[in-house]
Amino acid sequence: MTMKHQTHRNLGDILAEHLEQDIPDDINVWPGVLSRVRTVTPVQGAATAAPQHHARRLRPAFEVIAGVTAIVVVSVMLVAVFRPSPSQEQSQGALVEPVVPAQLIMQDSMDSTRPWAGTLARPVDPDTLVDLPGIEPVDLSQFGAHALSPDGTRLIGVVSAGDARGTPCNDGAPSGRSDLRIFNLETWQWEHCLGFPSFSASLSLSFSWLLWSSDGTLIYALTTDDSRSAEGGKADGTEIHRLWIIDPSGAAEPQSVPISFAVGGMFTAPDGEDLYLFGYPLDENERAWMLGGPARLVALDAHTGQERARIELPDVTIGQTREIDTAGQSVYQHYRPGFAMAPGGDRFYIAHADQPRVDVIDLASMRIERSVSLEEPASVVDSLLGIIVQPAAAKGSSDGERSIVVSPDGSTIYVTGVTGDETEWSPVGVIAVDISTWTFRRIDSTATQIQISPDGRWLYAVDRMHLQYAAPVDGRLRVLDADSGEEVKRLVDGAYVMQVAMYGIDHLYVTTPTELYHTTAPYPEGEQLVRVTAYAVGTWTELAQITGHLNLRIAFPSQ
């Protein structure tokens, strides 16, 4: 064998050996991806408000999600739950009702053997889950990001000309162009497109957030220039996103303003005058979405997008940071604080990801009103033993996740989440903070995600048993009394909870896998893989149950 041949033959092996040494098999970029996805780009999802993440659909192969993903998704979604309806009283203490879709919409795979081919959505009877007669199912899955109007009748979504399924308003448009289009859930008809020239000229834009104004007269779209990801960001850091203020009728030209920081959340005030962006500046020397300065909450004029006020929050750690671990290695850490606006629009809450604390921001003055410590004292036994114990729930963690749920009357905020990452984690449980006294109490110790009923009486608490990739999937769904935390009903025990959806105050829908879900081939024809069960809230009696294919879900859960 000649040396030439030897060199060629072994080069790949030598390179592989070197790469395996330098880049071990257990490398994990998921936290970084997740952080960037969460802070930058929404998935199609939660029906109404700001953060659009809504991924509660699982496949056996994706049980990866186990905790962190689903927790991020649901926690972000929970932030949106209590965006006030314009028809409601806006003062603190008045009950704020959720946005309810005009009809209960169910979706499932268009073709049971080809789940990627799209889904069909159709209205169903909330009690029986039977299709309403005489209505043709519609493919709404072509929507990317979307948002439900405050009155629950109209759905606006992003449609792409590159979609193989095609969209009428994109006929002839260049591939990659994105437009907005409206679907009327009440009449079950497509409405007009908002394919204005500004968007079509910006093929590299992707939609990060969509949000209706509280009176339904404006739509806010936050776009991200894809070149930020591909090329490492704007050199001068002047435009990370662009905020578009859009007339949904299409009568007026949209306005836009550049946003110079990464946005993690977008909220409207109930009076419709202010738009709030919560985010952080980026490190200009990094291509990643790295924290480059203090987090901030910025108030914009809701009609023009001009900045009115801002508060910088140097104590709030969010996004990615590059740190040195105990082994001296450079590692990325990810911080995901929870945040939510009070129903009255007068306060903004932030649950720190790295310390047991909730900051309360007064939005009128844009100042920190108070900081509520959630640090719990060690138990008597632990104290006697001299052990310093911080309950896991109260610990801060770089890879932890917090979410905040606010009661509909604004009187209580609930903090939940997980600490740690996929390999070492613990549930936060539920910590309730009474805003009249600013005192907190632990009402649960195992929940990792929660939603609250529209009347504020019940917490729907999901306990995840595994966060590890490919771990066996099981879990619980418990109904807790929102005051005491007492478990009043266990609706799921030992199965993965794929979706918890509310429709009004009296219907609850729970999506779980069937027995076949974990055992059959990926796309068995005719097999029923997913089950949706309808419950009557309060009695918790089962009203109806249907099974379906891979994509069976409540399409736009009441929010």
Output the smallest distance, CB 1 to other proteins, in A. Answer: 8
Q: Does 166 bind other proteins (CB under 8 A)?
A: no
Q: Degrees (nearest 5) of the Cα angle 198, 36, 274?
A: 55
Show contacts with other proteins in window 216-235 (CB under 8 A): 226, 229-232
Q: Does 519 bind other proteins (CB under 8 A)?
A: no
**Which of 47, 49, 72, 180 touches other proteins by CB under 8 A?**
72
Show contacts with other proteins in window 419-478 (CB under 8 A): 469-470
Output the smallest distance, CB 519 to other proteins, in A. Answer: 16
Q: How many residues sit in the footprint of other proteins (CB under 8 A)?
A: 82
Q: Does 403 bind other proteins (CB under 8 A)?
A: no
Alpha-carbon gap, residue 393 to 396, rounded angstroms = 8
**Mask for 281-300, x = binds other proteins (CB under 8 A):** -----xxx------------
Work out whether the CA dihedral 178, 168, 52, 347 comes out positive or negative.
positive
> Which amino acid belongs to residue 462?
V
Query: DSSP string of 374-429?
Result: -PPPPPHHHHHHT-----GGG---TT-EEEEEE-TTSSEEEEEEEEE-SSSEEE--
Show contacts with other proteins in window 168-207 (CB under 8 A): 175-176, 206
Q: Does 251 bind other proteins (CB under 8 A)?
A: no
Q: Are 328 and 322 in contact (CB under 8 A)?
A: no
Q: Does 4 bind other proteins (CB under 8 A)?
A: yes
Q: Which stretch binds other proteins (CB under 8 A): 11-19, 307-315, 456-464, 531-539?
A: 11-19
Q: Does 75 bind other proteins (CB under 8 A)?
A: no
For residue 91, CA distances in Å to 100, 298, 463 come to 21, 22, 34
Q: Does 22 bind other proteins (CB under 8 A)?
A: yes
HEC sequence for 470-515 = CCCCCEEEEEEECCCCCEEEEEEECCCCCEEEEECCCEEEEEEECH
**Which of 91, 249, 258, 322 touches other proteins by CB under 8 A?**
322
Output the smallest distance, CB 61 to other proteins, in A. Answer: 6
Encoding tokens for residue 16?
């592989």
Alpha-carbon gap, residue 338 to 402, rounded angstroms = 5
Q: Does 272 bind other proteins (CB under 8 A)?
A: no
328 conformational bin, left if phi > 0, alpha if psi -120 to 50, beta if neither: left
Show contacts with other proteins in window 326-385 (CB under 8 A): 330, 332
Q: Does 116 bind other proteins (CB under 8 A)?
A: yes
Show contacts with other proteins in window 523-542 (CB under 8 A): 523
**Which of 53, 83, 464, 478 touches other proteins by CB under 8 A?**
53
**Which of 115, 345, 408, 420 touches other proteins by CB under 8 A?**
115
**Max Cα-Cα span within the chain:** 86
